[in-house]
């Protein structure tokens, strides 16, 4: 029996230490940001399709719900983007994509704008920014993953 | 046993410290290492995860900040296997001093 085995036996086993940072790590995908941004775009369109002047409770109720969901999903989209930006992307990716920081910064700003405003144009800009991030993300992994949307 | 308390034994799960530490490797950790001095860049430490109190992580110290916090990161160059954490010094439980060669 090797000496190291005997040394090891001097210490009680059973402690586990994770060489992960975020627990179940390694699962990154811009799809989560895309889904949230798509929900924002959908809610924005639904809000714009309502007539807030009709004075009915039904419209007021729908409007409140659409606004609540839009704001929640815009915030979620921003969170998902920030996780990708700060946790997944590394300095060597910046060499590969010098516009990386600018793209994320503008996308995060768009998340704020679509949360506060009712702007279909900005919601569509956010979708375009997320598509660009999708392309960069999968390029860093050397994989061809085609972009799609749910709606 | 006099050795108890001087070192704690841990088993590694996960791949973020490859190639140095493979999943299943066992290491010894000095829990007193940082009682009188702060961690230094390049040392491998065991820390409590800043967001998950019951998760202990093994990482390398990448940066020691003036406010006492440390940036920890994995050795694995594959970004999918590693993400950085900023942890307060109080969350660092000890320094990895040795690794048992795989059986």
The DSSP call for residue B101 is P
Ranges of each domain in chain B: 8-100
**The CATH number of the domain covering residues in B8-100:** 2.10.109.10
CB contact under 8 A, A15 and B13: no
Phi, psi at A148, each rounded to 5°: -145, 165
Structural domains of chain A, with CATH: 28-140 (1.20.120.400)
- CB proximity list for B93: less than 8 A, separation 6 or greater: B29, B31, B45, B46, B47, B48, B56
Averaged pLDDT, groups of 10, chain B, 103 residues long: 75 85 89 90 90 83 86 78 76 91 68
Structure tokens at A146: 């085609």
B45–chain A nearest CA distance, Å: 10
With 0.80 as the threshold, say if the pTM is over it.
no
Distance CA A131, CA A147 (A): 7
Distance CA B58, CA B102 (A): 18
Axis crossing angle, helix A57-83 with helix A31-49, rounded to the nearest 10: 160
Instruction: Give per-residue pLDDT as tens, A86-113.
Output: 888 888 899 999 999 999 999 999 999 9
Chain B residues contacting A, CB < 8 Å?
1, 3-4, 7-18, 21, 23, 26-29, 46, 49, 51-52, 55-59, 72-74, 79-85, 100-101, 103
């Amino acid at each position: 029996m090797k000496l190291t085995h005997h040394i090891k036996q001097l210490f009680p086993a059973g402690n586990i230490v994770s060489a992960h940072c975020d627990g179940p790590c390694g699962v990154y995908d811009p799809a989560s940001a895309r889904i949230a941004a798509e929900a924002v775009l959908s809610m924005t369109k639904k809000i714009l399709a309502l007539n807030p002047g009709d004075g009915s409770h039904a419209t007021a109720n729908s409007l409140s719900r659409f606004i609540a969901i839009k704001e929640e999903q815009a915030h979620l989209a921003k969170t998902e983007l920030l996780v990708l930006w700060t946790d997944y992307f590394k300095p060597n990716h910046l060499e590969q994509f010098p516009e990386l920081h600018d793209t994320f910064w503008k996308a995060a700003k768009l998340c704020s704008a679509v949360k506060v405003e009712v702007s279909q144009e900005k919601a569509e800009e956010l979708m375009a920014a997320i598509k660009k991030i999708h392309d960069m993300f999968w390029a860093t992994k050397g994989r061809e993953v085609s972009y799609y949307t749910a709606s | 046993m006099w050795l108890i308390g001087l070192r704690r034994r841990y088993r590694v799960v996960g791949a973020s410290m490859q190639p140095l530490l493979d999943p299943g490797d066992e290491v010894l950790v000095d829990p007193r290492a940082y009682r009188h001095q702060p961690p230094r860049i390049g040392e491998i430490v065991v820390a409590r995860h800043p967001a998950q109190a019951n998760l202990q992580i093994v990482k390398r110290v990448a940066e020691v900040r003036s406010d006492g916090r440390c940036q920890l990161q994995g050795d694995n160059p594959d970004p999918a296997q590693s993400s950085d954490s900023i942890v307060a010094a109080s969350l660092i439980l000890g320094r990895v001093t040795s690794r048992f060669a795989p059986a």
